[in-house]
Amino acid sequence: MVKTHKDLDVYKLSIELVADIYQATNRFPKEELFGLTAHVSKSAVSIPSNIAEGSARNHKKEFIQFLYISLGSAAELDTQ
C-alpha cells in the first residue's frame, strides 16, 4: 500500500538516479560547475521533487500533472 511518495518505486529509483548523477558530475571539468554540471544536477533533482510534490496534492489529476513535469525533467536530463 502506498502511504507517501517514499513508497513509490519510481520515487526510489529517481533518488538513486540523483545519487548517480552527483557522482558523475563530480568528474565533470571544473569550468562546467556553473554550466552543464548545474543544469544536469537541477534536472535530476527535479524528477523526485515533482513526484513528491505531486503525491502531496489532493487530487489524482494534479498528481498526474506533476508526473508529467517529472517526465519532462527526465527528458531534459537525457538531452544534457
Q: What is the pLDDT of residues 62-77, one digit of tens each?
A: 999 999 999 999 999 9
**Burial (CB count <10 Å: 0-12, 13-18, 19+), residue 22:** middle
Instruction: Please name which of 56, 54, 52, 50 lies closest in space to residue 76, comparing C-alpha atoms.
Output: 50
Put simply, whether the predicted model's pTM sits higher than 0.95 gets the answer: no
Q: What is the pLDDT of residues 8-40, one digit of tens each?
A: 999 999 999 999 999 999 999 988 888 999 999
CATH at 27: 1.20.1440.60
Q: How many domains does the chain have?
A: 1
Domain coverage including residue 65? 5-79
